Structure 1
Amino acid sequence: MTLQNLLSYVLAALAAGGNALANVMQRKAGLEEPQDRPFGPRLLLDLVQSRTWLIGFGGLVASFVLQAVALGFGQLSAVEPIITLEVPLTLLAASRVFGSRLGRPEWNGILVMTAGMIVLVAILAPRAGDETNVSNFDYLAAGGGTAATIVVLIIAGQHKNVVWRTGCLGAAAGTSFGLTATMIKETISRGDKDGLLGVVTTWQTYVAIGFGVLGLVLVQWALHVGPLLAAQPGFTLMDPLVSILWGVLVFDETTRSGFWLIPATLGAMAVGYGVFLLAHSPVLAALAENGDESALHPNVEQQPAPAAG
């Protein structure tokens, strides 16, 4: 492992921390708004005036910056799986913000997921591809397919079932962020080659900005519609999945193959199982079922609702 690769892993882990802060604080800000209020520009305008939401947005911005620097040092298919650490970090942040304790299920999920992620990245050992010589046809085909996936998920998210809607919108947000990371990788490569001029003159920069903003809007939509535990798997798993597919299939990043795919698959399954365990954590479940952060304070007696009339 080179020093650059190690640095990219550390920066990616810090970026995951920024995502975790954004998830918790933006969910907290969403809970401060009436749950029956329709999602739209007026709601977004009110959210951006909330200090809680702005703290979360700051975490998201920091995450994007750290992720961009990490992608400058490392490979797309190695950096993005590390971003999945945002799930256990989200639980840790939620326990801090809402004053709750993590129990054995949470710690088991954290250990399983972290170990699986380490195994996956170590086994695949991605090596550099060539982001600057991708044909326009490949970009059109891969980009069109990714954008179509986002559209399909948004349409599927119009179902009446709250959990289904939230999960689909979360997956759409994760897909959007995966495409954003992909375009950032190309932008960083252009910057290394041509400096600032290369960054501002390549169309990938503006596609990254556009889909980054779209992902942010989809996150707010998902968190307004339903619980974080329904949205979190989509946020977390679609981002690295999209990035790995782009890295290997479009940017020609190479990974170990043959026998090595067996332990790599087991590592990926462990990551998915860890996400499942953590997404169904009692900490997040309490927040989802009761609709306010007071549910995460087991020592606080709930006040009865006033009688009608």
Structure 2
Amino acid sequence: MWQTLLSYVLAALAAMGNALANVMQRKAGLEAGPDQSFGLRLLWDLVHRPTWLIGFGGLVSSFVLQAIALGLGQLSAVEPIITLEVPLTLLVASRVFASPLGRPEWTGILTMTAGMIALVAFLNPRPGDETNVSHFLYAAAGGSTAATIAALVVVAQRGRTLWRTACLGAAAGTSFGLTATLIKETIAQGEKHGLVGVLTTWQTYTAISFGVLGLVLVQWALHVGPLLAAQPGFTLMDPLVSILWGVLVFGEITRTGAWLFGATLGAVAVGAGVFVLAHSPVLAAVNDAENVAPEAPLTASRASRSAG
């Protein structure tokens, strides 16, 4: 029981790391100038900025805490808790950009938090067996997830700024969801065979690859458009992918019947909270170049205001 509770706490701390990364990396992107094209030169510029490094540190700490949480708890429970990064992003943004939270923000925070608690409580995930998944099932599930990421990137090449940003955010969230599922298997191999098991399983290296891909997609999305457009994809696709993998691939057991109705209501509350918070003026302030660099263009700021 204590392991389950500890996994929840660590997952919440991982969400805090993600929130810090979201705000600080977006701020660094604005400092670099939204008119600069995405590529190796932009990435090289960003890694030399203290603001981006703080965000990257939050992302790394989140990765470590999430890995420990996955080792102690179930994939279907840990990843939904990561959705707390949205209200936490709002709290961090309010501090960084000195924008007070109003009643809509607090309503969204409470709705989303209550929905997440209800979702996990009603599902009540129990352990599966991630170490005995067939190669065929891995190939089918992994191929479908990778194809989803690729499709989202492709459709993000055309359309308006908000559409492109939302698709890239969803691709990043999907990539992180797949990363979490593979980390779960890596940790299981480590518990069985120690360091040798971690270093010899293909899931370790695939998880690293998709984790790096997710990081690149996050930076791409935040450079293309406002955080309010990218955040829902970051947040909702990760737990969705993780729950599907946990139940359909790893065989985690969740409650069924009438319990699913309560879990569905919780999921709807989470989605509603994300929608409300993503349109918060505080998150719009994250995209206000005036708060970061006076000479930076205001393209992202105008997009966020028009979206709100």
TM-score interval for Structure 1 and Structure 2 normalised by the shorter chain: over 0.9
Distance 1:285 1:35 in 2: 15
Distance 2:112 2:216 in 1: 28
Q: Which residue of 1 aligns with 2:175?
A: 176
Distance 1:80 1:88 in 2: 15
> Quick one: which amino acid aligns to residue 19 of structure 2?
A
Distance 2:222 2:161 in 1: 11
> Quick one: which amino acid aligns to residue 135 of structure 1?
S
1:142 is paired with a residue of what secondary structure? helix
Paired residues of 2:108 and 2:277 also in contact (CA < 8 A): yes
Bigger radius of gyration among the two? 1
TM-score (normalised: structure 2)? 0.94
Residue pairs, 1:39-188, within 5 angstroms: 39-188=38-187
| CA drift at 1:34 | 1.8
Q: Which residue of 1 aligns with 2:298?
A: none
- Count of equivalent residues: 293
- Does the alignment pair 1:293 with 2:287? no
> Quick one: which amino acid aligns to residue 219 of structure 1?
V
| CA drift at 1:159 | 1.5
| CA drift at 1:292 | 3.7
Q: Percent identity?
A: 77
Paired residues of 1:174 and 1:235 also in contact (CA < 8 A): yes
> Quick one: which amino acid aligns to residue 228 of structure 1?
L
| CA drift at 1:250 | 0.1
Q: Which residue of 2 aligns with 1:276?
A: 275
| CA drift at 1:160 | 3.2
| CA drift at 1:117 | 0.3
Paired residues of 1:129 and 1:252 also in contact (CA < 8 A): yes
Unaligned runs of 5+ in 2: 294-308
TM-score (normalised: structure 1)? 0.93
| CA drift at 1:294 | 6.0
1:32 is paired with a residue of what secondary structure? helix
Q: Which residue of 2 aligns with 1:305?
A: none
Distance 2:286 2:128 in 1: 43
> Quick one: which amino acid aligns to residue 271 of structure 1?
V
Distance 1:20 1:36 in 2: 25
**Relative to 1, partners in 2 of residues 1:175 and 1:231: Cα closer, same or farther, differing over 3 Å?**
same
Q: Which residue of 2 aligns with 1:300?
A: none
> Quick one: which amino acid aligns to residue 291 of structure 1?
A
> Quick one: which amino acid aligns to residue 118 of structure 1?
I
Q: Which residue of 2 aligns with 1:202?
A: 201
2:109 is paired with a residue of what secondary structure? helix
Distance 2:126 2:150 in 1: 32
Paired residues of 1:172 and 1:234 also in contact (CA < 8 A): yes
* TM-align CA RMSD: 1.0
Paired residues of 1:106 and 1:277 also in contact (CA < 8 A): yes
**Relative to 1, partners in 2 of residues 1:153 and 1:241: Cα closer, same or farther, differing over 3 Å?**
same
Distance 1:158 1:284 in 2: 24
> Quick one: which amino acid aligns to residue 234 of structure 1?
G
Q: 1:15-41: CA deviations, max 9, x gaps?
A: 000000000000000000121111000
Unaligned runs of 5+ in 1: 296-309
Q: Which residue of 2 aligns with 1:245?
A: 244
Paired residues of 1:28 and 1:293 also in contact (CA < 8 A): no
| CA drift at 1:291 | 3.4
Distance 1:287 1:82 in 2: 23
Q: 1:142-201: CA deviations, max 9, x gaps?
A: 000000000000011111300000000000000000000000000000000000000000
Paired residues of 1:16 and 1:86 also in contact (CA < 8 A): yes
